[in-house]
Structures are given as structure tokens and as C-alpha cells.
A and B are shown apart, each in its own frame.
Chain A
Amino acid sequence: MKSPLALIIAVLTGLIILLGYFIPNPVLSSIRTPLLDWAVILSGVAGLVAIIHLIFGVHWEKVKKQGMQQWFSLVVVVVFLITLIAGLFLEPTNPAFQKVVTYIQTPIESSLLAILAVTLSFSSLKLLQRQRNWMGIVFFVTVIIFLILNSGLLSFTDQIPILRDVLSGLQMIPTAGARGILLGVALGSLATGIRILIGSDRPYNN
């Protein structure tokens, strides 16, 4: 049986916070502020729960099993423990500890993004192979034009009024499309949020 208490808490909390958007009441604000603070704290604790589950619920279990993945999971667990212990001793604001981010995490993630450039380019070779229709051709032409535009190679056109106006007008098209997309996303978020606030959707009950 799904808990009604969770539903009540979700609806009450949501309504109080939502009302604060539209009703600038000090009483309401005094209730709303700690709710938001507690939500921030809970978000942090939720992150900690996720990390514990990742290390001890997933990778530690893989360490117990046989196979190649066992060793990689062991690396994860060992490195986590080393980093945790070092951070507990050095504290996160210590520049020495922050080098873990700047010299290990950042190069790895940046390199992964660099790989993405090659793989995306390799995949875009077959752009029209998968979408052989008018919309695909429009997409294809747009990509080429704006790649050149973003690179700055067409900066000489700024000196030519007609071309400048054409290009600036061309850049209005994605603005209009983006506005429509943003409105659509906002409407979708609105609908989803209202469904949760009225209790129609209960993603927290499992």
C-alpha cells in the first residue's frame, strides 16, 4: 500500500513553495525559507547516499565476483578510499587536494570531450544516409553554414552591409526556433509539475 504520508508531504511542500512565487507574504516566506534550506541539505545527503551505493553497492559487489570487471571495480574502490582519506585530512579547500580535480579529473573529462569531436565528426559523415528527406537536408545545410559562421571565417562579411543583414537575419531563425522550444519545454515542465503537485504522479513511491 502506498504511503499517504509521502503524498501529503509532497503536496504540502510543493504548494507552500509554489505559493511563495506569487504571494509575497512574510509569513509564507518564513515557512518557505526553511523548507528550501532543508531541501538543499537533503539534496546533498541524497548525493552522499548515491556515492555510497555506487561504491559499496555496485563496485564492491563486482569486486567479489570473478572476471575482468573485478579488477576495474577494485581500482574504483581503492582510489575512492584514497581520495576520501586524503580529502578528510586535507579538506576540500586545500589547493593540494584540489589538484585531484585540476590534474586528474579535468584532463580525463576534457580528453573524453575531445574524443567526442572526432566521433561526432565521424558519425556526421552518414548524416544524410539516415535522414534522406527534406528536413534532413535542411539540417545538413544548417550544420555546414553555422559551423563556418561560428568559426569566424565569415567575419569579413561584416564589412558588407547586405551580407551582414542576411547573416544577422539568418541568425534570427534559430532564435525563433529556440524560443518555441523553450516555451514548449516550459509548458511541459508546468504540466509535469502540476501533475506531481495534485498527486497524480508519485515518482517517490516505489
Chain B
Amino acid sequence: MIPTGLDLVWVIVSFILTFLVFSYFLGDNAVYRFVMALFIGVSAGYFAVVLIFQVILPNLVVPLVSGDRLVLVPLVLSGLLMFKLTPRFSRMGNIPMAYLVGAGAAIAVGGAVMGTLFGQVKGAWSAFLPSSGESPFLAYLEGGFLLIGTLASLAYFHFNAKKGSATSGKRTVLVAIFAWIGKIFISITLGVVFASVLTAAATALIERTDFILQTIQLLAGK
């Protein structure tokens, strides 16, 4: 699809902004900072518009206009939250903040228990179950390997000392062995994560170079 008219202008703007950001390769400079300032302003402005139209209007204004009295609670809480802008009355915003923190903490606890803990323990168990066409021995091996790796990784974060060893503060022998194994697993996992981050960044670079190439072709074709 070949952009025309205003779209072409937007494409050229995007093209120029890409090169302006790439100027960072030469070091921090005023052009780069200008682009960052532009980015911050645009992001903040767009975010504000989205909040106004998609959060405040449909959730506060419309229900209030339609006569929903229950909306007074979030309305009052929102008003109290605005006091956070003033240093003098910022304490007034502690109540809505407490509300948000309490709700977030409960959701985190519930999700950790119901989602990760139960789910992953079930998953660790289900690894021992052979899938269709799979050898049971292979399934047990795979499950055992995953279980040992999981326990070892968990043991690495275990820092309780042996009772009575006030001076050394060392772990027990078993925990120490598992922790050492867990260190290897975690090192490999973090290495994989780092490689994935490099891949993601490289993909972004490829996408940008592809965009530059296509824009050049577009402008050349024009």
C-alpha cells in the first residue's frame, strides 16, 4: 500500500525521526534530546487524551450523568487523589493510595497462589506424566530433571542458616548442594534471557532498517 498525501508526510516524518534517534550512536547531542522531548510530550498528551476519553468519561462522567450514585465513591476518591499534586495537602491522597495498594496486594497474593504456585506445582507434577507416544521412562527422566532443576533453583534463594551455627551462618550440606546446582540452572536461564533480549533488540533494528529501506524505495519510486 503506497501512502499518499498526508500519509506520505507522516512517513517522511517517521523517517526523519528514525535518523534523528540514530544520531545517538555519535553520542548524546542536542538533536537527540530534542527528539526525546518531543517523544515525552507526545506520549504524555496521547495518554492524557486516552484517559479522559476512555476512563474518566465512560466511568465517571457518564454514570454520574445517568444518575448512578455509586459512582460518587470513585469520584470522591479521585478528588482526594488529586490532592497528591499539592505538597501541603498530599496527605489527603493517602486514602485512595491505600485503597489501590490494598487491592493490588490482594490481587498479587491471589494470583501468585492460584496462578503460579498451584499451576507450576501442577506442571511440575504433570511432567512425570507421559504424553501420547512418549516413553514413560523418558517422561520420568524429563520430569525428574525438571523437578530437580526447579528445586535447585528454589534452593539457591534459600538463605536460612543451620540452627546453632551462629558463627558460620552457612547452609546445611544438602541445601548447599542444591543451591550450587540451582546456581547453574539460573545462570543458564539468565543467559537464555539475555540472548533473547539481544534477539529482540536485533529484531527492532531489522524492522527499522526495513522501514528505512522501504521508505527510500518509496521516495525513489515517487
Contacts and interface: CB of A to CB of B under 8 A. Distances in A.
B189 A183 contact: no
B59 A41 contact: yes
Interface in B15-62: 17-18, 21-22, 24-25, 30, 33-56, 59-60
A18 interface: yes
A39 B101 CA distance: 9
Counting chain A CB atoms within 10 Å of each CB, the highest count among B82, B96, B98, B124 belongs to B98
Interface in B82-118: 82, 84-85, 90-91, 94-117
A21 B113 contact: yes
Contacts of B124: 179
B173 interface: no
A91 interface: yes
Contact of A183 (B105, B108, B117): B117
B106 A17 contact: yes
A7 B106 contact: no
Contacts of A92: 46, 49-50, 53-54
A5 B177 CA distance: 48
A13 B99 contact: yes
B214 interface: no
Contacts of B113: 21, 186, 190
A203 B104 CA distance: 12
A83 B208 CA distance: 25
B34 A75 contact: yes
Contacts of A46: 81, 96, 100
A189 to B, nearest CB: 4
Nearest to A137: B187
Interface residues of B, number: 114
Given A75-B34, A139-B194, A14 B48 contact: no
Interface string A64-106: 0000100011011111111110111001110001011111111
B45 A45 contact: no
Interface of B: 10-11, 13-14, 17-18, 21-22, 24-25, 30, 33-56, 59-60, 70, 73-74, 77-78, 81-82, 84-85, 90-91, 94-117, 120, 123-124, 142, 145-146, 148-154, 156-157, 182-202, 204-205, 207-209, 211
Interface of A: 3, 5-7, 9-18, 20-22, 34-49, 51-55, 57, 68, 72-73, 75-84, 86-88, 91-93, 97, 99-118, 120-121, 124, 135, 138-143, 146-147, 150-151, 169, 172-187, 189-190, 192-194, 196-197, 202-206
